[in-house]
Amino acid sequence: MKESSVDFYFFSGTGNTLLAARAVAGRLREGGKRVRLRRMEKGFVPFQDDGTALGIAVTVAMFSTYPFAWEFLEKLPDGGGRGAFLVSTMGQTSGGLRPAMKKLFTSKHYTPLGAREFVMPSNYNNTTIPVAANREKIETMERDAALFAESLLEGRAVWEGGNILSPLFYRLSRRQWPWRLMRKKYPLTVDRGKCIKCGKCARLCPAKNIRMAEYPEFLDHCVSCQRCVAFCPPMAIGVQGKNYRQYRSVEYGDLVSENL
């Protein structure tokens, strides 16, 4: 990586992607790079100079990533040849993310430096505190993230392609009906007997799907990122008909802190 600094944008649902972004950023900093971690939902900040690379870290969803993440990426300015890399976290597989992201970067005149996916604990049907299996996945990610960052520093990172189904997976993620189906399959509910009306769910929702009235009200553009379920202090938010338990790998303060 020839650039001396990195603007590293991330979106993290329950904390997995933030952990991965921090792990990569930490090794890049050790290698002498200045890294600014930025929350994707707060919008793009103009590059300070030509010596700044672009990093993107996103959660895999619908074999790709969330619509609001693609909207952010499509609004990126021309890269002018600066380097760009991708980090993603997932429960199982992506399929439609890496090739589409590389194509987008190339079309905007960024130089693709490398991409790396990390398998992390699932956001669904998990527990509040990572148990042994969860911890093992996180520790594996931390080791692999350091190796990926080293490969970026040394200019030997790779950006693996997808497969014959990748374009289909990408197009699927950009349609509205799969997300509507997800909302129908996993409708959110609020236990009013537990709710403390703190409003954290509405503040954290990246899709602006939660409106605070007396209690949280859910609109019709949820993308099932699980933030509201994961960070509700009294565990009042759940999924209708499911015995969901909270899972998060960071705390609320980590997700909203300005000191990343």
End-to-end CA separation in angstroms for the chain: 22
Residues 142 and 38 grouped into a single domain: yes
Summarize pLDDT for 13-27 with one digit per residue, the tens. 989 999 999 999 999
**H helices of the chain, where?**
16-30, 67-74, 98-107, 132-153, 166-174, 177-185, 200-204, 227-231, 252-256
pLDDT band for position 248 (cuts 50, 70, 90): confident
- Domain of residue 185, residue span: 176-256
DSSP 246: -
Closest CA to 238 of 182, 246, 214, 209: 246
Q: Name which of 2-11, 90-99, 120-129, 227-236 the model is least confident about.
A: 120-129
Q: Which residue has the tokens 């565990």?
A: 235
Strand partners, 218: 210
Q: Output the CA torsion sign for 120, 177, 125, 216.
A: positive
Residues 150 and 200 grouped into a single domain: no
Percent of the chain with pLDDT over 90: 66
Residues 115 and 195 grouped into a single domain: no
Q: Which residue has the tokens 């099932």?
A: 224
* Confidence (pLDDT) at 186: 82
Residues 164 and 183 grouped into a single domain: no
Residues 132 and 228 grouped into a single domain: no
Residues 143 and 181 grouped into a single domain: no
**Domain containing residue 204: CATH number:** 3.30.70.20
**Report field, pTM of the whole predicted structure over 0.85:** yes
**Radius of gyration (C-alpha) of the chain in whole angstroms:** 18
**Residues 177, 59 contacting (CB under 8 angstroms):** no
The answer to whether residue 260 scores a pLDDT higher than 90 is no
Residues 35 and 150 grouped into a single domain: yes
pLDDT band for position 35 (cuts 50, 70, 90): very high
* Confidence (pLDDT) at 130: 60
How many domains are contained in the chain? 2
Of 169, 185, 203, the residue that ends a domain is 169
Summarize pLDDT for 104-131 with one digit per residue, the tens. 999 999 999 999 999 998 876 665 556 7
Of 118, 134, 169, the residue that ends a domain is 169
Closest CA to 3 of 82, 87, 115: 82
Residues 161 and 238 grouped into a single domain: no
Residues 163 and 103 grouped into a single domain: yes
Residues 238 and 137 grouped into a single domain: no
Of 148, 169, 190, the residue that ends a domain is 169
Residue 103 token pair: 């194509």
Amino acid at residue number 244 = Y
- Residue 253 CA neighbour count, 13 Å, CB half: 1
The answer to whether residue 162 scores a pLDDT higher than 90 is no
* Confidence (pLDDT) at 92: 77
Residues 215 and 133 grouped into a single domain: no
Mean pLDDT score, 40-50? 93
129-143, 161-175, 199-213 — most confident range: 199-213
Question: Average per-residue pLDDT in the chain?
Answer: 91
**Domain containing residue 99: CATH number:** 3.40.50.360
Q: In degrees rounded to 5, what are phi and psi of residue 216?
A: -60, 135
- Residue 116 buriedness (CB in 10 A; 0-12 / 13-18 / 19+): buried
Residues 43 and 77 grouped into a single domain: yes
- Residue 43 buriedness (CB in 10 A; 0-12 / 13-18 / 19+): exposed
